[in-house]
A and B are shown apart, each in its own frame.
Chain A
């Protein structure tokens, strides 16, 4: 158990819809990262937050947005969903030493 909690674990929705994925970081970790992992693909970095502020942005689509709240939990919002958005979405948190602790992921299926 990494200490990072992601909900929901599984989500099935239709094209054009919007979903929100939630992440609670490990106690004390200020950084939260979001990654997308498609079948047989690597981990695509989406975005990083540090103590509520956006720190770095990767290959995140304009249809996607994220935020980190004062209690440090984070949400990733995916809108106007397309079939190609089906993937495993990981959240990770990090202490100041830099290593990432990943949650178990949210598997999104868009039909």
Chain B
């Protein structure tokens, strides 16, 4: 199945700083999805990107799909304590998940 690399594995930020996680594939993706899992919780769907170069925004979250459809990023502006959790990208049939980026916020 398709493999996807997600970096960084951990990210510590001060509250109010920005945060970005990246998802990279060696093959062209048909689409990519992003999920958030709060500590002790279950993954929750955030968004799906389908088109090359697509950019979508949800309040402080900005999602991008690369022009070659091989990479994607999730950027959070001015992090808040409610943003704490693990962010996963997911690709392909059966939805293979990246290992996730753990966002830790220091007040």
Residues on A lying within 8 angstroms of B by beta carbon are: 2, 33, 35, 41-43, 45, 48, 55-58, 90, 92, 97-105
Contact = CB atoms under 8 A, between A and B. Distances in A.
A42 B97 contact: yes
State the 4 A-B residue pairs at the shortest beta-carbon distance, nearest first. A56-B94, A42-B99, A43-B97, A102-B42
Contacts of A48: 93-94
B35 interface: yes
Choose among A35, A41, A100, A103 the residue with the greatest number of B CB atoms under 10 Å from its CB. Answer: A100
Most buried by A among B41, B43, B90: B43
Contacts, number: 54
Contact of A105 (B42, B48, B94, B98): B42
Given A48-B94, A100-B35, A42 B88 contact: yes
Nearest to B31: A98
A42 B94 contact: no
Nearest to A97: B48
Interface string B30-54: 0101010000011111001000000
Given A42-B100, A43-B88, A98-B48, A33 B95 contact: yes
Given A42-B88, A45-B96, A98-B31, A58 B1 contact: yes
B43 A43 contact: yes
Nearest to B42: A102
A110 B96 CA distance: 26
Contacts of B35: 100
Nearest to B33: A99
A98 B99 contact: no
Contacts of B98: 42
Nearest to B96: A45
6 contacts: A2-B44, A45-B1, A55-B93, A56-B93, A90-B43, A99-B33
A101 to B, nearest CB: 7
Interface in B60-93: 88, 90, 93
